[in-house]
Chain A
Amino acid sequence: MVLVLLATIPVVALVNSLHWRVDFTEERAYSLSPATVKMLEELDDRLQVKLYFNRDIEGAESLLPARLVIEDLLQEIERRGAPWVSVETVDPTTDMAAQRDAEHVGVTPMELQSQDVGGFSASLLYQGLELRYQNRSEVIPFLTPNEFEFAFTVRLAELQRAQRPVIGMVSDEPLLPPQMPGAPRQVPEGRIYEQLRVILGQRYAVRDIDPSEEGAIASDIVAIIVACPHKLSQAKLEALDRYLAEGGHVLVLQDSDYVDPATQATELRPTGLESWLASYGVVVGSEYVFDEESVQITVRQRVVNTNTGPEVVPVRAAYGFGLLASGDSLVEDHIVTSRLEQVAMFWAHPLRLSALPAGIKAETLISSSGQSWLLPGDSSLEMSEANTKALRDAAYATGPGKPYALAAALRGVFPPNFEHEGLQPAEGLMVVISNSELFHNVTLGANSSGNADFASNLLDWMAQDAGLIELRSRGKKKRPLLDFASSYIDAQGGWTQDASKNEELDRDAVSFRLSRVRLISWANVLIPVVVVFVLGMAHRSFHRRRARNPFQPGGQS
Chain B
Amino acid sequence: MRSLLVARREFFTAFDSPVGYVVLALFPALAAALFFVLGPLFLVGETSMRDFFGWMPWLLVVLAPAISMRIWAEERRSGTEELLLTFPFQLRHLVIGKFLGAWAILGLALAFTAGVPMTLELLGDLDWGPVLGGYVSVMLLGGASLAIGLYLSACTSNQIVAWLLGVVVLMFFNLIGGAATASAMPPSLGRILLSLDFGEHFHSITRGVIDLGSVTFYFGVMAVFLCANGLVIERRRWS
Contacts and interface: CB of A to CB of B under 8 A. Distances in A.
Contacts of A491: none
Interface string A522-555: 1111111101110110010000000000000000
Contacts of A524: 32, 35-36, 115-116, 119
Given A12-B220, A61-B185, A65-B200, A532 B112 contact: yes
25 contacts: A1-B230, A4-B223, A5-B224, A8-B227, A12-B220, A16-B195, A18-B213, A23-B208, A24-B130, A24-B208, A55-B187, A56-B187, A59-B183, A62-B181, A479-B126, A481-B41, A521-B33, A523-B115, A524-B119, A525-B37, A528-B113, A529-B29, A531-B112, A532-B112, A539-B15
Given A16-B216, A525-B33, A479 B125 contact: yes
Contacts of B234: 1
Contacts of B213: 12, 15-16, 18-19, 21
A479 B36 contact: no
Nearest to B92: A1
Given A481-B123, A520-B119, A12 B217 contact: yes
A2 B227 contact: yes
A479 B227 contact: no
B100 interface: no
B211 to A, nearest CB: 4
Given A5-B223, A539-B15, A61 B211 contact: no
Contact of A533 (B25, B33, B123, B230): B25
Contacts of B32: 521, 524-525, 528
Interface stretch (B3-11, B45-53, B56-64, B153-161): B45-53
Contacts of A536: 15, 18, 21
A529 B21 CA distance: 9
Contacts of A527: 115
B212 interface: yes
Nearest to B20: A536
Contacts of A65: 181, 194, 200
Contact of B127 (A5, A25, A480, A529): A25
A356 interface: no
Contact of A21 (B37, B113, B132, B210): B210
Mostly helix, strand, loop or mixed at chain B's interface? helix
A521 B37 contact: yes
B180 interface: yes
B166 interface: no
Interface string A69-108: 0000000000000000000000000000000000000000
A532 B24 contact: yes
A517 B42 contact: yes
A120 B210 CA distance: 42
Contacts of A481: 41-42, 45-47, 120, 123-124
A64 interface: yes
Given A479-B127, A524-B36, A525-B36, 5 more contacts: A5-B224, A65-B200, A68-B194, A483-B45, A520-B123
A488 to B, nearest CB: 14
Given A479-B46, A479-B127, A528-B29, A22 B223 contact: no
Shortest Cβ-Cβ A-B pairs, 8 listed: A24-B129, A521-B36, A528-B28, A25-B208, A532-B25, A12-B220, A524-B32, A16-B213
Contacts, number: 164
Interface in A473-528: 479-483, 517, 520-528
A183 interface: no
A114 interface: yes
A30 B205 CA distance: 11
B133 interface: yes
A312 interface: no
Classify chain B's interface size.
35 or more
A9 interface: yes
Interface of B: 15, 18, 21, 24-25, 28-29, 32-33, 35-37, 41-42, 45-48, 92, 112-113, 115-116, 119-120, 122-130, 132-133, 180-183, 185, 187-188, 190-191, 194-195, 200, 207-213, 216-217, 220, 223-224, 227-228, 230-231, 234
A5 B231 CA distance: 10
A238 B129 CA distance: 52
Contacts of B220: 8-9, 11-12
Given A64-B190, A532-B21, A5 B47 contact: no
A33 to B, nearest CB: 14
A55 to B, nearest CB: 6
A393 interface: no
Contacts of B208: 23-25, 29-30
A522 B35 CA distance: 11
Nearest to A520: B119
Nearest to A477: B127
A25 B129 contact: yes
Nearest to A114: B183
B209 A23 contact: yes
Contacts of B211: 20-21
A57 interface: yes
Name which of B46, B115, B128, B188 has the most chain A CB atoms within 10 A of its CB.
B115
A526 B217 CA distance: 35
A517 B43 CA distance: 10
A41 interface: no
B36 to A, nearest CB: 4
Contacts of B15: 536, 539
Contact of B212 (A15, A26, A533): A15
Nearest to A537: B21
